[in-house]
Amino acid sequence: MAAEIPCKVFENPCDYGEILEFQENLRNEVIAKNSDGCVLFLEHNPVYTSGLRGKEEDFIKPVGNIPVFNIRRGGELTFHGPGQLVIYPVIDFRNYGFSSIKEFVLFFANSIKSVLGTFCGVQNLAWHDEKAGLWVEDRKIAFTGMHFKKFVPIHGFSINISNDLSYFSRIVPCGMPNCKITSVKNETGRIFQVGEVAEKIVAEINKSNG
C-alpha cells in the first residue's frame, strides 16, 4: 500500500511569487530528503503566468496592474485568481507508488475529474493529454503544467470553480486561439467554495492511493 499523500489546504488567496518561492524551497528540501513534501491546495490573487512555450503575442489586451510571471513549466499562458483552485504536488512521486510522470499526472487528473463529476455535478468530462487539461466537450475547465526535477514537480493543476472568466479573454489561453474556457459555475449554475472542492480532492487522492 502506498503511503498517504500529505496535503495542505490554504484558507485565503495567496501571492503567486511567495508561493512560487515556497514551492522551489520545498522541492529542494524534498530532493535533499529533509522533507516528505506536500500537495498544496490554494487560490491565488490575480496573476498571469507564461510557461516555456508562452509568447508575447499571446497577450491580446493590456493586463493593467495584474502581474505576469515567466516560469519554467510546460504550456503557454494562463490566468489564476480567486474562485480557481490551484494544486501544487511538491512531492517525490516515487515515494507514493508512481512509476512514471504520466502515471502521476493521470492519477491527479482522474481524481479531479471524479470530484468535479460526482460532487460538483459537471457532466461530459474528459481528460486530454495532448490538450493538457480536463474538458467539458469543447470547453476547458482544468489545466496542467509542471516542471520536474529529480522526480519532484513544482507547478501543477488549476481548476475553474467560480472564478471570473473574463480575465482569459485578454490572452490566448494555453496557446489555443479558439479555446473556450468554462467553470463549474458556468456548467452547473451552482457556486462551490474552493475550499470544499479542495477537501473533496484531498479525500479522493488518498482514497485512490490507499
What is d(CA 194, CA 62) in angstroms, rounded to the nearest whole number? Answer: 28
Alpha helix (H) residue ranges in 88-181: 101-118
120 is catalytic: no
Annotated catalytic residue within 14, 120, 174, 179:
174
DSSP 174: G
Specify whether the CB–CB gap between 162 and 192 falls below 8 A. yes
| Cα torsion 172, 178, 179, 180: sign | positive
User: Within 13 Å and on the Cβ side, how many CA atoms surround 144?
Assistant: 24
Residues forming the active site: 174
